[in-house]
Amino acid sequence: MGVVTYDYENTSPVAPARLFKAFTVEAPKVWPKAAPNAVKSLEVEANPSSGSIVKINFVEGLPFQYMKHQIGGHDESNFSYSYDLIEGGPLGDKLEKISYENKFEAAAGGGSICKSSMKFYTVGDNVITEDEIKALLKGSEGVYKPVEDYLLANPEACN
């Protein structure tokens, strides 16, 4: 097994607290509304807290039917959270899991900077390329950008 780490940043006009809520505790309510062309539903074991499993069901016609995340933790005071993709989605035969650490920070001119770190755990001697990582990031924009747009269009959401 090999491990490949990939760090990236993304900016948003939405405040860190609202993005944090939209991607953690309010995700089951927000994602299907914000991205109905991608997300059918989210199923959460108990409360979305450390150790819980979140199953994201996608609409028909997308490359993946579902993904399962195991929540690592949420830190609401620092707007950070972590989770592991443990089943479904892009894992296939090549990846054992993908670990994510995300943090929303206030941007100087308003809005947020999302700092993310991803660790790809490969199976056996498999290798993941930067192009494959960038393709996965592009796919995740199918949820991130619609959630951001939803928050901009609905200023009362995730306050």
User: Does the residue 4 lie in any domain?
Assistant: yes
pLDDT under 50: residue ranges of the chain: none
User: Does the residue 158 lie in any domain?
Assistant: no
How much is the pLDDT for 136? 86
User: Does the residue 127 lie in any domain?
Assistant: yes
User: Does the residue 14 lie in any domain?
Assistant: yes
Structural domain span for residue 64: 1-151
How much is the pLDDT for 48? 61
How much is the pLDDT for 44? 87
User: Does the residue 96 lie in any domain?
Assistant: yes
How much is the pLDDT for 46? 65
Q: What is the pTM of this model?
A: 0.90
Per the structure, how many domains does the chain have? 1
Q: Compute the C-alpha angle 10/27/44, nearest 5°.
A: 130
User: Does the residue 120 lie in any domain?
Assistant: yes
CA distance 105 to 17: 9
What's the CATH number where 76 sits? 3.30.530.20
User: Does the residue 79 lie in any domain?
Assistant: yes
